[in-house]
Structure 1
Amino acid sequence: MPGRVFLTTPVAEIAARFGLDPEPVANEPPRQNISPGQTVVALTPEGLQHMRWGMIPVGRVNARGRPVMETIVNARSETVFDKSAFAGTGRAVLPVDGWYEWTGERRRKIAWRIRSAEPGLLFFAAITDTWTAPGGQVVPQIATVTCEPNADVRPVHHRMAVIIKAEDVPIWLNGSEERAAQLMNPWPDGRLVVEAATGVDWSDT
């Protein structure tokens, strides 16, 4: 369940891969440590754009009609199309080079870097909405979708991001809920590398 991600691939390469204009995110630098609450580059039906990672659920309610109070960073694939808290959300993809997980006891935690076993990006399924801040500023927001872990990730976490094949990105962005739901599966075993995360400035938030 990604709590932090990294993206060092130039956004121009991401744009070129999908035939998109890189201009909306052209000033995005390589980043080794991206945490919730920060701005990320998202692939949306309209193209590439900056979004805030974490959905402030103003006006959203749960199945009992009670307001959702906590910022939504990750949404469970098992309920993302059914929960009232996610009603009316859009879909997007979060391109990353990988993400981090931690194991161990507090103050003795070990950080793990998770990346593709083959060179290339990973594409996380995500949902989106907008938040109107005090003063009227409209903030696009994104939350990643998670599922059960595959064998690669299971030793370090009980959830993982839903990873979409590049050729299936259009289905997630524009397909029906039925077709999109078919993509919400653990990434096949053996396609991820889990390694100790060294040389990361964790204060760079």
Structure 2
Amino acid sequence: MPGRLFLTSPLDDLARDLGQPPPPAAPPRANIQPGEDITCLTRDGWRAMRWELIPQGRKNARGRPVMETLINARSETVFDKSAFDGLKRCVVPVTGWYEWTGETRRKQAWSLQQADGAPCLFAAVYDVWQAPGGREVPQVATVTCAPNADVAPIHHRMGVLLEPDAVATWLTGTEEDAAALMTPWPAGRLAIAKCDDPNEQGR
């Protein structure tokens, strides 16, 4: 599942294909980490959001407050769990994401992206956190599902990826229509390669 993202290409062509104005220009980002802002597409257009969701006032199935922050939401429970009540849907477009395998201190980083170079369109959910002092913080979590055959050797989960023509359904369709989209990406369409650890770059 995505724990680090990278966005190294402009989104102008994607925006045009989706019938959207281009998002605000931004420099390439090789290592987008939880807690940082990412560009998201909502039903109302582009919006910068913090990739980390504080489950404000939400409770688990036992009625206890949910305390931990979330960067990913499981597709199997995102529409059922009380911790996700009231969330809206959005899309996080990126060039790709990273995964790691191996033991601590000897981990191998992997980059994953579409083989044809098209952006990866992650299904996501969001809300607006009322921070101390009255500040409003838009916050987002990507949605995950079981891995496809390509990702399974690297990780037991992967982000839900959307086809461009499914974006409108994810943003504005019914929960039933959106749930039908939360399936593993077809095998054979990802380029997966070993890479230098992005967390070590620049140290």
- 5+ residue gaps, structure 2, are none
State how far apart, in whole Å, the 1-side matches of 2:26 and 2:47 are: 10
State how far apart, in whole Å, the 2-side matches of 1:203 and 1:64 are: 43
TM-aligned CA deviation for residue 30 of structure 1: 1.1
Whether the 8 Å CA contact 1:5–1:96 is kept in 2: the answer is: yes
Q: 2:37 is aligned with what amino acid?
A: T
For residue 16 of structure 2, give the secondary structure of its aligned residue in structure 1. Answer: helix
Equivalent residues in 2 for 1:49-198 (5 A)?
49-198=47-196
CA deviation profile, 1:108-131 (whole Å, cap 9, x unmatched): 000000011112111000001110
CA RMSD in angstroms, aligned pairs only: 1.4
For residue 107 of structure 1, give the secondary structure of its aligned residue in structure 2. Answer: coil
Of 59-68 and 167-176, more deviation after overlay is shown by 59-68
Count of matched residue positions in the alignment of Structure 1 and Structure 2: 202
For residue 135 of structure 1, give the secondary structure of its aligned residue in structure 2. Answer: helix
State how far apart, in whole Å, the 2-side matches of 1:202 and 1:48 are: 31
For residue 178 of structure 1, give the secondary structure of its aligned residue in structure 2. Answer: helix
State how far apart, in whole Å, the 2-side matches of 1:54 and 1:202 are: 22
Percent identity, please.
56
For normalisation by structure 1, the TM-score amounts to: 0.94
For residue 195 of structure 1, give the secondary structure of its aligned residue in structure 2. Answer: strand
State how far apart, in whole Å, the 1-side matches of 2:12 and 2:184 are: 28
Whether the 8 Å CA contact 1:147–1:184 is kept in 2: the answer is: yes
State how far apart, in whole Å, the 2-side matches of 1:13 and 1:71 are: 33
CA deviation profile, 1:2-21 (whole Å, cap 9, x unmatched): 00011112133332222223
1:29 aligns with 2:27: yes
